[in-house]
Structure 1
Amino acid sequence: MPSLATILRALTLTLTFLAAPCKAVGITSYANMFFEPSDVINSTWFENSQWAQEMAISWTRKLALNGPWSVTNKTVMAKSGDVHDYLSYAVYYWPNCTSVGNTTALTSEEVWDECPYYRRDGVFNPDIHVVEDNEAMANLTDSVYLAAMAYIGTGDSAYSQHINDAMHTFFVNNATRMNPSIDYSQVIRGPGTQGGRRQGVLDMRGLAKAVSGVLVLRELEAPEWTDETDQGFVQWATDMVTWLETDDLALAEKAASNNHGTFYYNQLCALYALLGENDKAISALNEFYNSTFPGQINANGDQPLETARTRPYHYRAYNLAALTTNARIGDYVGLSPSGWNRTTTSGATMFDALKFAMAQNASTTNEDAEINQLNPTIAAVASKFGDPDGAYAAFLKASDPYYPGQPYFALNAGVSDSGIRQGLLRTTYGAVPAQPTKGSSWGYKRHERSRRRL
């Protein structure tokens, strides 16, 4: 039986993969993901994954309490002065005001503009959240894919309406839309122009999640997903692709050899998939596997560029999540040979990287709280290639005693539930906190279409 500490951690930990925390307590924001409409539409596995569906519904409703989101909600602007410009601050940079020469206390704005900032790798500066565009993007993209799952599971039009309204607000409405560029992302504050950095392109990684949800609504021809929103988002995506293909910041991020480069292709190829430009997605993925990927994994499965960081357990899982997303997009667009089986210069595959990562002790680098960051990737690999020795299921159960209740479980057909079922939790683990359920408390009836606020 898992320890009490493990159980409590699995129940209460909200994982965040950089500095984009969800305001809704208890929601896990996976590093990234992409799924095809066929993974959820007319899928017996998805239909039977009731516990995971219920969690997706619960998370959607929690997130929706803070939406719809917009970059225009901020009160601190980028140096452009345009409220529509996405803005975020470099997460590991801290001010050093000893050289400023002030005789009175500095205001926050004076600190941001006058004090030089220096890097403390792995140490988050909490005042980056004075601007919440990063959080808005994370919450938006999480809510879209989760609401798509909820819509499939319930048939309730409130979820498809939520997707339409959230996407229209963030990408289409002229009053609230984000400009299709990331010229002021991961800004290092202090003296100077305070322009964006190539690392800021990473902030858009969640577009793969949003595209997954939109593809589901398109496939179902959901009436709540309007032509205006679809066409507006297509135009935004077209412009964003142009920025990703041509801007100096974007091209520098594309050339990054670590997880930054992997995530660059996540968002670019997801947008290609949205636009129906599968040939371009295939070309871009081949470029990734022939240029960036070959140097990422050693023969023993180590990812040296991620291991070198101050939080190696996290960053190995992080890049693996991006590799999984690229492989799944590749499956959707018809990439051959499959991204799953591509090899690095050393002859290693992402499976070797996963095996190595699973064998590491998170405690060695004080990363116990990060233990289940590997789980969505493990589930995806087990679904795709099986788990003949049960190693994947054993890891999932040990790191998260309730993993069949995670939304990713419903997206990965065939993954073992290790005998963990919602109705057996009390007999398995003893008294447990109440689990989210559909029913009288929310008034849902499966496949009954209705229009109401979430």
Structure 2
Amino acid sequence: METFKKLARVVVLSAVGSVIWATPAISSAQDSVSPVREYQCRGSQGYAEDFDGRRTFLWRPQWLEAISADSERRKDAISRADKALGRGPYSVTDKSKLVPGASPDDYTSIGPYWWPDPKKSDGLPYKRRDGEVNPERSGPDFDKERLSKLGSDMEDLSVGYYLTGDARYAQHAAVLVRAWFLDPETRMAPNMDFAQGIPGRVNGRGEGIIEASDFSTVVESVGLIAPSSALGDDEMKGLKIWFAQFAQWLATSDNGTAEMQKTNNHGVFFDFYLSHFALFAGLDSVTKDITSNFPEFRLRRQMDTQGRFIAELKRTRSWHYSNYIVAGAGRLATIGECVGEDLWNAQLDDGRGLATATRFLDEYSDQIETWPFPDRDLAAKRIDRMERVHGLVDTLFARGESFPEGSQLP
């Protein structure tokens, strides 16, 4: 543990969350050829210069254009945006009760695979059942479902605005942002101290940071509605400050440190979240240092020479998690482009890189039934479900060259 602590990369933070990371030298594959791109992500300005002011980082303009060009997709997206107009706003202060030690503005949730102990009258402490989601976590006592709805509605509204220019969609998206992030009466405190707690054991864990995926969707959605000016300059400044504070919490808190040290998908997504939120907040150097260090800090420790992430193969849904972690790395590689880092082609001294990971998955993607590791979905013959999770990997690693039918924005 002491040796691993020495590998921790956060060494200095400024008042707004700027981080300095150790950055080793990484080689790049000599025979790689980058695809021709029409758009360039330029640091914390994202794609705005080439995308009519739309400040996205993860959502490639080509993906949005593909949705716009497909009449069925376009119709479906506008329908979803219309429905989202009638939902929300959402707030962490809507909870009916508080976790011990938490304030009304603290985000709270429980771990997905933890269940009441049937042998105990009060069910405490909860026991783990890997792969089986406890529906209690989506109930009104916790914020997970509210955050999921926020992310989903923000995506639908922002895409609807992009497709139609209808200001109603952007304006309602702004209402959702104000309630969750800006209004002093309803805003979430910029931390996840009480995320994925385990009743009877702990009130919050580093693992809960994985639930920040919806914040990533919010960042992209806010960028997509930027031309509408639905959020004023002061509001955008306040939102950037919120994400800078959240990035600082990620880099310095006990939960953040614990998550950063994880050697499974949680560690990879930690890197992506901190990189994404720092970029949105204007902390480009943080994103550059994280992405440049990724092959050494993550791939060398977590992926073997065959491209397998061993920790994910031990899960009861091994195919899902093997694809999930590679999709997380693909998200980070996409963000890395914004700061001039090419994770797609970066290699360790033994040749390992992201291409090693995708080659391993591609061995089975056309015949998922041949997946040789234990998997609950495979046992239940949920092949369509397994195909969908691999589809996101294909979308990310196509790097904007394709966005086939059925593809979803990451």
What is the TM-score normalised by the length of structure 1? 0.69
Q: Distance in 1 between matches of 2:191 and 2:59?
A: 26
Task: Say whether residues 1:254 and 2:260 are aligned partners.
Answer: yes
Shift of 1:81: 4.3
Amino acid at match of 2:317: R
* Structure 2 match to 1:55: 76
Q: Which residue of 2 aligns with 1:120?
A: 129
Deviation at residue 321 of structure 1 after TM alignment: 1.8
Which residue of 179, 194, 197 maps to 1:187?
Answer: 197
The whole-number CA distance in structure 2 between the counterparts of 1:279 and 1:303 is 28
Instruction: Assess if the C-alpha contact under 8 Å between 1:70 and 1:169 holds in 2.
Output: yes
Deviation at 1:39, TM superposition (A): 4.2
Q: What do the CA deviations read for 1:136-184 (whole angstroms, capped 9, x no partner)?
A: 2222123223322221111111111122111111111111111111111
Distance 1:63 1:345 in 2: 49
Mapped to 2, the partners of 1:271 and 1:262 lie a distance apart of: 15
Question: What residue is the counterpart of 2:405 in the other structure?
Answer: 404
Native 8 Å contact 1:89 1:187 kept in 2: yes
Q: Determine which of 380, 387, 394 is the counterpart of 1:378.
A: 394
- Whether the aligned pair in 2 keeps the contact of 1:60 and 1:147 (CA below 8 Å) is yes
* Residue type of the alignment partner of 2:249: W
Between 339-348 and 166-175, report the one with greater CA deviation: 339-348
Equivalent in the alignment of 1:441: none
The DSSP-based 3-state class of the residue aligned with 1:170 is helix
Instruction: Call closer, same or farther: CA 1:355–1:57 in 2, change over 3 Å.
Output: farther
Residue among 198, 204, 216 paired with 1:196: 204
Q: Percent identity?
A: 26
* Displacement of 1:215: 2.1
CA contact (8 A) 1:294 1:344 kept: yes
**Partners of 1:63 and 1:303 in 2: how far apart?**
38
- Indicate whether 1:208 and 2:232 are aligned: no
Shift of 1:202: 0.8
- Give the deviation of 1:217 after TM superposition: 2.9
Rate the CA distance shift 1:165–1:313 in 2: closer, same or farther, 3 A.
same
Q: Which runs of 5+ in 2 are unaligned?
A: 1-55, 372-376
| Mapped partners of 1:345, 1:94: distance in 2 | 44
TM-score between both structures, scaled by the size of structure 2: 0.76
Asked whether the 8 Å contact 1:144–1:210 carries over to 2, the reply is yes
Question: Secondary structure at the residue paired with 2:274?
Answer: helix
Gap change, CA 1:347 and 1:146, over 3 Å in 2: farther
Q: Does 1:273 align with 2:279?
A: yes
- Over aligned residue pairs, what C-alpha RMSD do you find? 2.6
Structure 1 residue 90, shift from structure 2 partner: 1.2
Q: How does 1:126-145 map to 2 (within 5 A)?
A: 126-130=135-139, 131-145=141-155
CA distance 1:166–1:60, change in 2 (3 Å):
same
Q: Give yes or no for contact 2:57–2:220 (8 Å, CA) kept in 1.
A: yes
| CA apart distance, 1:333 | 2.7
The residue number in structure 1 matching 2:352 is 348
Describe the SS at the equivalent of 2:195: coil
Q: Distance in 2 between matches of 1:76 and 1:124?
A: 21
- Inter-CA distance 196–314: structure 2 relative to 1 (3 Å threshold): same
- What code does the residue aligned with 1:117 have? Y
**Of residues 169, 175, 178 in structure 1, which corresponds to 2:179?**
169
Whole-angstrom CA distance in 1 between matches of 2:144 and 2:291:
26
Q: Distance in 2 between matches of 1:345 and 1:75?
A: 54
Helix, strand or coil: the match of 1:333? coil
Could you say which residue in structure 2 is the equivalent of 1:285?
A: 291
1:383 Cα deviation after fit: 4.2
Matched, 1:310 2:316: yes
Whether the 8 Å contact between 1:37 and 1:215 is mirrored in structure 2 is no
Give runs of aligned pairs for residues 289-368 of structure 1, distance below 5 A: 289-335=295-341, 338-343=342-347, 347-358=351-362, 359=364, 360-361=368-369, 364-366=378-380, 367-368=382-383
Deviation of the 1:55 alpha carbon = 2.9
Q: Taking structure 1 as reference, are residues 292 and 37 closer, same or farther at Cα in structure 2, changes over 3 Å only?
A: closer
Give the total of aligned pairs.
Answer: 342
Matched, 1:70 2:79: no
* Matching of residue 35 in structure 1 with residue 58 in structure 2: yes
Question: Quick one: structure 1 residues 376 and 117, their matched pair in 2 at CA, closer, same or farther if it must change by over 3 Å?
Answer: same
Q: Is the 8 A contact 1:34 1:208 kept in 2?
A: no
